[in-house]
Amino acid sequence: MRLFGNPLTAHRYLLDTWSWLNYYFLTVQRILALPRFIRPPWWMLLTHCALILLLLISCAKQERFYGFSGFLFGSYVNIKVLEPDPVKASRAVQKAFCAMTRLDSVFSLYLPNSEINQINQKGKGKLSTDLKNLLLKALAVSEKSNGAFDITVLPLIQFWRKYFNTKELPDSWELKQTLQFVDYRKIKIQNDSVYLPDGFKLDLGGIAVGYCVDRAVSVLKQEGIKTGLIDAGGDIFGFGNRRWRVGVKNPRGEGLIRQFVITNQAIATSGDYEKFFLFGGKRYHHILNPKTGYPAWGCASVTVIAPDCVTADAYSTAIFVLGVKDGLALAEKEAGIETFIITDENSPFGGLKQYQSFNHR
């Protein structure tokens, strides 16, 4: 974890300020020692003093960016805030990062004792407030997307893992057998407990990071931070009186293919270019269709802008699985959701074609 913005900046500023004041008053003394007939009028000296003091005060209130950079959820996390007080800024970003770390211990499949792993092992379990809220949000997105987003997809992910290593295709019969353990409708939540059928396991990877970003933003605001940005592996939330410019990666080349400006909004992208292998000229990637068991083909990249990051995170996956037609229809149904879809097909734009459900500058 690395701190951006030097906490010694404030002390250096004070030293610089004292140096300038000392230099200024020595200059005034020299001026007063001049003969009266060439000395500036007293009102001119007072006006000059006032202007210098106003300038120093305005510089003292100048806001600076501070932040942490760390590693969570299997990726990088950057927290950046705009705040004149370095002590306040440091305290706020540390608390926000700690909140995300705590949630990682709830949602992560990489931590053996995480709450989600304990439920997967036992097939049931008591739900913490955060896990219950996230499960309910995930199930709501699953319902609205007609199962395109499904958190019971873990058996399917585990099934494909060995084929990603060997870069071969699975047996269709084995794949069909695995699909019987994928169906969000079979999750039962009663009061503060969850129950899974035998063989079912949960994977919150398509929604948990967005939830953690939202919680961290809440912590920053509670600490009095008015402007900031959190970027957790590409799940981004920018808040405050500032226009944040975010780029979308070209899924088939270098650089950016599009830029968006967000204000008090979240943005997330799902793409087929992070984890994949080629077989027979076809791209087999990590975003799986819960109904077919195979990778969701049709989209190369889906970006969603939403009022909160958990929504942007989940809907970017759901729309990717649905494809252009149904994905655009889903985005247009949901208030506050805007989507930008890139497909890999023959077009005048280097094989890529772009679709969007909005006119976003």
Q: Where are the beta strands (DSSP E) in the chain?
A: 2-4, 64-72, 75-83, 124-126, 188-190, 193-195, 228-232, 235-239, 244-249, 256-262, 265-271, 276-279, 282-285, 301-306, 338-344, 352-356
How far apart (Å, rounded) are the C-alpha atoms in residues 134 and 22? 58
CATH topology of domain 64-356: T-fold (3.10.520)
Is there a binding annotation on residue 206?
yes
Task: Indicate whether this model's pTM tops 0.75.
Answer: yes
Residue 26 has pLDDT above 70, yes or no: no
Q: pLDDT band for 33, please (50, 70, 90 cuts).
A: low
Query: What pLDDT, on the 0 to 100 scale, is given for residue 75?
Result: 87
Asked which of 63-72, 142-151, 233-242, 266-275 is least confident by mean pLDDT, the reply is: 63-72
Query: What pLDDT, on the 0 to 100 scale, is given for residue 187?
Result: 98
Query: What pLDDT, on the 0 to 100 scale, is given for residue 73?
Result: 85
Is there a binding annotation on residue 317?
yes
Of the candidates 255, 257, 236, the residue with the CA atom closest to the CA atom of residue 310: 236
Whether the CB-CB separation of 324 and 293 falls below 8 Å is answered with no
Is there a binding annotation on residue 150?
no
Whether the CB-CB separation of 313 and 209 falls below 8 Å is answered with yes
Query: What pLDDT, on the 0 to 100 scale, is given for residue 7?
Result: 33
Tens of pLDDT, residues 163-196? 999 999 999 999 999 999 999 999 999 999 999 9
How far apart (Å, rounded) are the C-alpha atoms in residues 230 and 213? 7
